[in-house]
Structure 1
Amino acid sequence: MRSKGGRTGKGHDVENLLDELYTTPPPGFVSRREELAALTKAAGQVEDARRIRAARRPTLAAWAANLLLRSRPQECQRFLELGGALREAYQTLDASGIKELSEQRRHIVSALSRQAGRLAAEGGHQLSDTAQQGVEATLRAVLADEDAADQWATGRLEAALAPPSDFPSPTDAPTAPPAAPPRAAPRTRTRDELAERRRLRREQLAQARTSADIADRHLHGRHAEQTDAEAVLAQARDRHDRARQQVSTAEQRLRLAREQLHLAAQEQKTAEKRTREAALAAERAERTVREAAQEVKRLSGPVK
């Protein structure tokens, strides 16, 4: 598959390299950028190397938002779709409907920003309160503003996004010049138009609520999966710690056994030396005894 602006066949796909670069923790961004640029240039992709060198290091909040997008693609795609549905719904909802969707929006933004914080911590960087607020501001901007959503969808934010003061509403549209008063329209037509607007409002509200509910359920499901994974990880760490302790104990016993083996080998060598010396001494003693017995026998014979 060919990425936009990337390469196929031999060489490095610059789009994939840029995606990787923007999920690199900020402290290691510059060194990784230079490494990737050098690799790309060595492959003959000079223009791609320039693009990589032109990449700007993201702030910690922007990096966490990029990491969230890359690590949770399905969840973030639903979040982007929810933003589109909410922006449409806000155009026609009344005050009570807007309040309901605002509460759902705050809940989902809070849950996703916490997830981004956990991913950042797993990547070795705990988000400060300021960085966490930057992630939340970015997610609010993504829901409220289509341009912000497009920027985040690239996964290459360099700084946190600032949300607008609120969702766009019908009053945000440019004011048209006053038209001449229309002639009296039939009351039936007015009632039909009002009923149609209300019907469209109900449909948009239902769609927005459905999107919010799906996103909320998906978040709960991911949280449950994460809780299970954390429990499994805790058990694995416990087993690892016990195994490491057992290995340490076994290594201590092995060192002690080797020391005892070395000592026993030295004692064996000493005993073998003594055994050889004792055997030589016994042999000499036997020879002396034989010689003495022969001398006694010679002296015991008749004198000539």
Structure 2
Amino acid sequence: MRYKPAAAGYLTSVDLDEVADRLYALTPGEFTAAREAEARAAKDAGEVRLARDIAALRKPTVSAWAVNQAARRHADELAELLALGEELRSAWQAQDADALADLTRRRGEVSGRLARLLRSGLSAAAAAEVEQTLEAAVVDADAADQVRQGRLARPLSYSGFAPAPIPKQRPKRKAPTKEEDEAAKAEEAARRAREREEAESAYQEWRDALALAVQEHEARAEKVAKLERKMAKARKKLAEADQRLDVTRREERHARQRLERAR
């Protein structure tokens, strides 16, 4: 379906953020045509500067698009992760080792859960970029703001020092009880089951897509083969017509010469 910008909004001055929100909610495949439509609508409305700013918006990578969807489809999970990031940075400034240890554990759980929601159908490289971007949003406030806006064009990374638990003397670890051991095993089994279910769902989706692609390819290949057969017959008939034309021209020339001699 052809993208239609909110043209009515251009009757008054439109904020670039409003347009960007619409564009970055689309898939990367839809982005370029939609951006051109928005820029054209702004220009037609006399908003030349806005049209130029819209045209400068960059098409998102697949991983950036996936993170952008977190702000729209998984807002609660994203808010939880970013809130943990704020607590982590505060705990690091306060040098609160116990809080850092607990928050780091919770961050791993929340970021892992959100990453699983976002990486379905992505390549391994794109999934890694999603996790890298979420990690940057946890440890860096500016990155968190960008992720929260949902308008990333590229994945984010953070090269600074990430908050981590402050080293301290470790108490002796107690051996897990039988109940704790069974609970851990049950949790691991549930995690594996979820991952298997996600993998099976992604495989089924791409297997169905492959079947459709094969069917379409075969149909088009058959059409091409039929056209090639028709073309071969047409070329043969053309060659026969060329031969008849040569013979006819030769005979017409001979007949004309005989006629001229007979005069």
TM-score norm. by structure 1 comes to: 0.47
Q: Deviation string for 1:1-21 (max 9, x for gaps)?
A: xxxxxx796465532221111
Aligned equivalent of 1:159? 154
**Rg larger for:** 1
Q: How is 1:109-128 mapped onto 2 (pairs within 5 angstroms)? A: 109-118=111-120, 126-128=121-123
Separation (CA, whole Å) in 1 of partners of 2:141 and 2:15: 28
Contact residue 40 and residue 48 of structure 1 kept, 8 A: yes
Separation (CA, whole Å) in 2 of partners of 1:82 and 1:153: 14
Q: Residues 102 and 78 (structure 1 numbering): CA distance in 2 closer, same or farther, change over 3 Å?
A: closer
User: Is 1:16 paired with 2:18?
Assistant: yes
Stretch moving more, 94-103 or 33-42: 94-103
Q: How is 1:29-108 mapped onto 2 (pairs within 5 angstroms)? A: 29-108=31-110
Contact residue 11 and residue 40 of structure 1 kept, 8 A: no
Paired residues in the alignment total: 161
Letter in 2 for 1:85: E
Letter in 1 for 2:27: P
Q: How is 1:117-196 mapped onto 2 (pairs within 5 angstroms)? A: 117-118=119-120, 126-164=121-159, 166-168=161-163
Contact residue 19 and residue 156 of structure 1 kept, 8 A: yes
Contact residue 64 and residue 155 of structure 2 kept, 8 A: yes
Poorly superposed stretches of 4+, deviation over 6 Å: none
Q: Residues 168 and 102 (structure 1 numbering): CA distance in 2 closer, same or farther, change over 3 Å?
A: closer
Give how far 1:23 is off: 2.2
Letter in 2 for 1:142: A
Aligned equivalent of 2:211? none
Give how far 1:127 is off: 1.0
Separation (CA, whole Å) in 2 of partners of 1:116 and 1:170: 27
Q: Deviation string for 1:209-248 (max 9, x for gaps)?
A: xxxxxxxxxxxxxx9xxxxxx9xxxxxxxxxxxxxxxxxx
Q: Deviation string for 1:261-292 (max 9, x for gaps)?
A: xxxxxxxxxxxxxxxxxxxxxxxxxxxxxxxx
Contact residue 138 and residue 144 of structure 2 kept, 8 A: yes
TM-score norm. by structure 2 comes to: 0.53
Separation (CA, whole Å) in 2 of partners of 1:14 and 1:96: 44
- Match of 2:119, SS? helix
Q: Deviation string for 1:110-131 (max 9, x for gaps)?
A: 111122234xxxxxxx211111
Letter in 1 for 2:129: G
Q: Deviation string for 1:71-127 (max 9, x for gaps)?
A: 233443333222111110122345554333222111111111122234xxxxxxx21
Contact residue 88 and residue 104 of structure 2 kept, 8 A: no
Letter in 1 for 2:146: Q
Q: How is 1:186-265 mapped onto 2 (pairs within 5 angstroms)? A: none
Separation (CA, whole Å) in 1 of partners of 2:74 and 2:11: 28
Give how far 1:134 is off: 0.8
Q: Residues 146 and 12 (structure 1 numbering): CA distance in 2 closer, same or farther, change over 3 Å?
A: closer
Q: Residues 95 and 12 (structure 1 numbering): CA distance in 2 closer, same or farther, change over 3 Å?
A: closer
Q: Residues 164 and 99 (structure 1 numbering): CA distance in 2 closer, same or farther, change over 3 Å?
A: farther
Contact residue 90 and residue 168 of structure 1 kept, 8 A: yes
- Match of 1:30, SS? helix
Give how far 1:31 is off: 1.4
Q: Residues 74 and 25 (structure 1 numbering): CA distance in 2 closer, same or farther, change over 3 Å?
A: same
Aligned equivalent of 2:236? none
